[in-house]
Amino acid sequence: MKLLLVEDELADAKFVKACLGRDKALTPEIVHAVCLSEALTHLEETDFDVVILDLHLPDASGEECVRKIKLTKPDVPIVVLSGEENEDYAIEILNQGVQDYLVKWHDDGKGILRSVRYGIERKRSELKLAHLAAFDSLTQIPNRNFFVDCLERAVSRAQRNGTMLALLFLDLDRFKGVNDTLGHHFGDKLLIAVSERISASVRDGDILARMGGDEFALLLEDRNGVAGAEATASKLIKVLADPYELEGRIVNITTSIGITVFPQDRGSPESLLKNADIAMYQAKSAGRNGFKFFTEKMQNRIVHQHRVAQEIRSGLENDEFFLAYQPQYRLSDNRLDGAEALIRWNHKNKLVMPDEFIGIAEESGQIIDVGYWVIEEAFRQSNAWCNTETAPPRIAINISPRQMHQPNFNRELQRLIAKYDVNPESIEIELTESCLIQDSNVVKDSLQMLKDFGFAIAIDDFGTGHSCLDYLRRFPIDILKIDRAFVKDIGVDDESTAICKAILSIADGLNKQTIGEGIENETQLEFLIQNGCQRGQGFMYSKAVVPSEFEALPVLEVSSGDRQYGARKKLG
């Protein structure tokens, strides 16, 4: 053990050496300094296990000694020796980060041994705690606390020196999927591999931290601002997208990065983090596996979304939402065959369409409450329409992925079915393809639950999502709704026409029903009928209308090859 004894009284030094020499286990190698400056020279040259420090030295006060020693070697334990029996002073010195305090010659020297041991042990646990407080235990890189400290210092440095800094916020794309399908253990391994790749791709002075989950932050100083940050970001995107070989498996994962540059984007360290986070989300919405710089416009969007989210909440409380129903017809004979419930918002005397708020509700999580409102209102209407002639035989309800995967969804549906005495066979649930790309066992269970209730399941906007047709085979799906984007171009654009034809033929082969969406003209309708589409909806028939208008809709008739629309005659 290497020990630095700083003591100007030679007799005292001798006594300490004698005491320490008595312990066979310690076998101390003692270096003796008689003043602070000599002690500091030794400390710079050698690593000591502990410093024993007299507080009365000729060249410095006690406080100064402690401060300078800690400045030179922050990790070395210090045990202080003093002749003063003043407890207040002892506490003051301990508060400065000294590990133990000993009043000279109170005992036979056993106290010194104990203090040295104790001092070393205490410093060790302090360092361990400091490490725990500043480092992420999984990846061993700095954690959020540490990063925020660094960022604060870097911002004031940049302010003082008129330099720039860039903050990159990284988030792995669909990391949850890896965790869910391959397990947390594997997810952890991947996070470690990712942190190692980032570390290896950045420069020495850059600070990388794990901010939690699959999020990392990177602080770049002294780079040429925007260009430097951009170069680093595109390099990282590339490096991180290379396949990972872990435990004999190959996995791929991509990353989205948000970047903010100071002082160009002004703000406190906290708001810089927020900026980078906002930009990261934009990178995700732009298709993932890329980076985006923060802009003022993004900020405004966030503010807008925040406001709308609040207004949705009060809208639910104030009954501002209602459902409009778009009729669906059986194409073979034009019989009314169903209705799709579409939400509308009567807000500040204006009609707000779902495209303006459903996305925001999804992001803010309010889609859950909105969705329950829709289900309840549609069930209520289904009950009210029950056994009336002018009513649609079934109602289709749009459900968002988030809602479907709610833990209570099952129980809540059951409650509402009972409350409104709904016949489940008169209900269709429309899901988008994005509902189906999650963990396939979970999806299967959720869909099976809907089937067990007796609902039919339709895939909405079919063909626009993740075209992995395998799910058609694996999941209990009844209906495919051909997206309006394809129907719109029937007869106009060869590719869209071909896609419609292909979807109809797939559906036929797999025994699924089809609904053509957004039928606006005779060409589209003819084509869909010719190619075996069973049902259709669109402005050519009717837009979505409130129930009272729905009941007054004209009944359609087929008069031998000559279809008439708008004939005012009720089915009787």
Amino acid at 94: L
Please tell me whether residue 428 binds Mg ion under the rule CB under 5 A: no
Angle formed at CA 126 by CA 124 and CA 131, multiple of 5 degrees? 95
| 428 DSSP assignment | E
Please tell me whether residue 518 binds ligand C2E under the rule CB under 6 A: yes
Which residues ranging from 457 to 486 are in contact with Mg ion (CB under 5 A)?
Answer: 460-461
Please tell me whether residue 553 binds ligand C2E under the rule CB under 6 A: no
* Nearest to ligand C2E of 216, 321 (CB atom): 321
Measured between alpha carbons, how far is 390 from 555 in angstroms, rounded to an integer? 9
User: Is the preceding peptide bond at 407 cis, omega within 30 degrees of 0?
Assistant: no
Angle formed at CA 561 by CA 555 and CA 567, multiple of 5 degrees? 20
The site partner of 120 among Mg ion, ligand C2E, none (C-beta below 5 to 8 Å per kind) is none
φ, ψ at 2 (rounded to 5°): -100, 130
- For Mg ion (CB under 5 A), the number of binding residues is 5
Q: Of 79-87, 145-153, 396-404, 492-500, which part binds Mg ion (CB under 5 A)? A: 396-404
* Nearest to ligand C2E of 289, 521 (CB atom): 521
Measured between alpha carbons, how far is 121 from 127 in angstroms, rounded to an integer? 10
Long-range contacts of 101-110 (CB under 8 A, 24+ apart): 104/12, 105/15, 108/19, 109/15, 109/16, 109/18, 109/19, 109/22, 110/19
Angle formed at CA 187 by CA 182 and CA 190, multiple of 5 degrees? 120
Contacts of 56 (CB under 8 A, 6+ apart): 8, 62, 82, 83
Please tell me whether residue 322 binds ligand C2E under the rule CB under 6 A: no
The site map against ligand C2E for 386-405 (x = CB under 6 A) is ------------x-x-----
Antiparallel, parallel or unpaired: β 321-330 and 350-352? unpaired
What is the gyration radius of the CA atoms in the chain, in angstroms? 36
Render 286-299 in DSSP notation, one character per residue: TTSSSEEE--HHHH
Please tell me whether residue 528 binds ligand C2E under the rule CB under 6 A: no
Please tell me whether residue 398 binds Mg ion under the rule CB under 5 A: yes
* Nearest to Mg ion of 102, 341 (CB atom): 341
Question: Which of 80, 496, 538, 550 is in the footprint of ligand C2E by CB under 6 A?
Answer: 538
Which residues ranging from 515 to 544 are in contact with Mg ion (CB under 5 A)?
Answer: 517
Please tell me whether residue 484 binds ligand C2E under the rule CB under 6 A: yes
Please tell me whether residue 546 binds ligand C2E under the rule CB under 6 A: no
* Nearest to ligand C2E of 127, 384 (CB atom): 384
* Nearest to ligand C2E of 78, 422 (CB atom): 422
The site map against ligand C2E for 430-459 (x = CB under 6 A) is x-----------------------------
* Nearest to ligand C2E of 147, 325 (CB atom): 325
Residues paired with residue 413 on neighbouring β-strands, in sequence order: none
Count CA within 13 A, CB hemisphere, residue 370: 31
Q: Which residues bind ligand C2E (CB under 6 A)?
A: 326, 342-343, 353-355, 358, 371, 374, 398, 400, 430, 460-461, 484, 517-520, 537-539, 544
By the criterion CB under 5 A, which residues form the site for Mg ion? 398, 430, 460-461, 517
